[in-house]
């Protein structure tokens, strides 16, 4: 079945460690996104990519990094520079067009810093 796969579902990290969250899609979508979700707040955009080998910062990119070496993959690295990394992270994709279009989401990755 077509969809977006995020892994791991749960991740625990010690302070000072970098962690990488995986996002893979088989929908043949051009655009991919990473969002952060905190309780009681709307989703906030971390990074997005419209095409392979290109990506742009969102509203809260500091302390995060991404790569887009393949169309189907858009991993997110949470670096030790991120001050408050404990959150629920959501990856999404859409077919590129004049607007964002319908978004498809993965099941999310919950990161907890110990």
Partner 1 sequence: KQEVTQIPAALSVPEGENLVLNCSFTDSAIYNLQWFRQDPGKGLTSLLLIQSSQREQTSGRLNASLDKSSGRSTLYIAASQPGDSATYLCAVDGGNYQLIWGAGTKLIIKP
Whether 83 contacts 113, CB under 8 Å: no
- Minimum distance of partner 1 from residue 74's CB (angstroms): 13
Cβ closest to partner 1, residue 45 vs residue 52: 45
Cβ closest to partner 1, residue 48 vs residue 74: 48
- Minimum distance of partner 1 from residue 82's CB (angstroms): 20
**How buried is residue 65: exposed, middle or buried, by Cβ count under 10 Å (0-12/13-18/19+)?**
middle
Residue 19's CB: how many other CB atoms inside 10 A? 19
38, 49, 69 from 15: Cα distances, Å = 19, 28, 28
Decide the pairing of beta strands 76-78 and 64-66.
Answer: antiparallel
Cβ closest to partner 1, residue 80 vs residue 103: 103
Residues that bind partner 1 (CB under 8 A): 4, 6, 31, 33, 40-45, 48, 50, 56, 58-59, 90, 92, 98-108, 110
Q: What CA–CA distance (Å, rounded) separates 56 from 68?
A: 11
- Minimum distance of partner 1 from residue 90's CB (angstroms): 6
Cβ closest to partner 1, residue 4 vs residue 76: 4
- Minimum distance of partner 1 from residue 42's CB (angstroms): 3
């Amino acid at each position: 079945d077509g969809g977006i796969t995020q892994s791991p579902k749960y991740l625990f990290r010690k302070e000072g460690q970098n962690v990488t969250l995986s996002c893979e899609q088989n929908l043949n979508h051009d655009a991919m996104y990473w969002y952060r979700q905190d309780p009681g707040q709307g989703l906030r955009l971390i990074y997005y990519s419209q095409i392979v080998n290109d990506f742009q910062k969102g509203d809260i990119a500091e302390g995060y990094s991404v790569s887009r070496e393949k169309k189907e993959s858009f991993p997110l690295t949470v670096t030790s520079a991120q001050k408050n990394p404990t959150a629920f992270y959501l990856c999404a994709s859409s077919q590129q067009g004049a607007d964002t279009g319908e978004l498809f989401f993965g099941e999310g990755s919950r990161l907890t810093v110990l």
